[in-house]
Amino acid sequence: MSCNLRLLISCPDRKGLIAALSSFIAMHDGNILSADQYVSDSGTFFMRLEIEGEGFGLARDEFAGAFAPLARRHDMDWRLSHTDTPKRMAILVSRYDHCLIDLLWRWDSGELEAEIPLVVSNHPDLASRAEIYGIPFHHLPLTKETKAEQEEKVVNLLREHKVDLVVLARYMQILTPTFVGAYPGRIINIHHSFLPAFAGADPYRRAHERGVKTIGATAHYVTEELDAGPIIHQDVVHVTHRDTVEDLVRVGREVERRVLARAVRWHLEDRILVDGNRTVVFE
């Protein structure tokens, strides 16, 4: 399988950036397969480049050294990945199985470019779901008194398995700052409302009480502030006065599945750059 390079860049916008990047790649016999760019209102330039690996003149261990002078000159934050090295993704889940099942099915069908070394849960209920796909399932029970100890065990497992991305597939726990700090910008959560509306617990019931005509789901990066991290993707579905809370839960779970799956895929394909509390997503 051929290996391509994905280069993500953010820096202050100025004239000549695209020309400088294109010249650098051409100088090393590179072929640009795709290029997306965006300039924010604050004047920050964002770019995603995919470069054909075959024929490219820089080896993996040579790229950083060769690119460093250009990056310094333009004050760039950048990261590089290779398509033959999929990210390692851990899934954390509680008792609701719909997002877990959807992610595992998409992964098994080849839709998600990742390795999944483990599924972690604070309940034993979904062990069989992971085992169907041959993925180790770790049950780490949690109480109010053991939360810190349980989180430390989870983080140690993630580090042991060299996890790059943590997906909270309806993991019904609030992560501590210590946990969040261990994986900054690498924890994706699905919240079952159209944030910032109905943040926190039991949003479907609160939406029903408010009589909303649209419900939604939000995939976002996790920060220390509950349900307030940079939003990656959202979608909605229309409801009516006839719908019960149970109806909202049922149709809402369909939205949750597709919103989370799309956000995870974009992260795995290096399509997301964080801009403060916003994201730039090159779909």
**Cα–Cα–Cα angle for 159, 164, 170, rounded to 5 degrees:** 95
Residues with a known catalytic role: 227
Distance CA 195, CA 222 (A): 13
Distance CA 124, CA 25 (A): 50
- 222-225: Cβ within 8 A, 24+ apart: 222/168, 222/175, 222/180, 222/187, 222/188, 222/189, 223/180, 224/177, 224/180
Phi, psi of 37 (to 5 degrees): -140, 160
Distance CA 261, CA 82 (A): 21
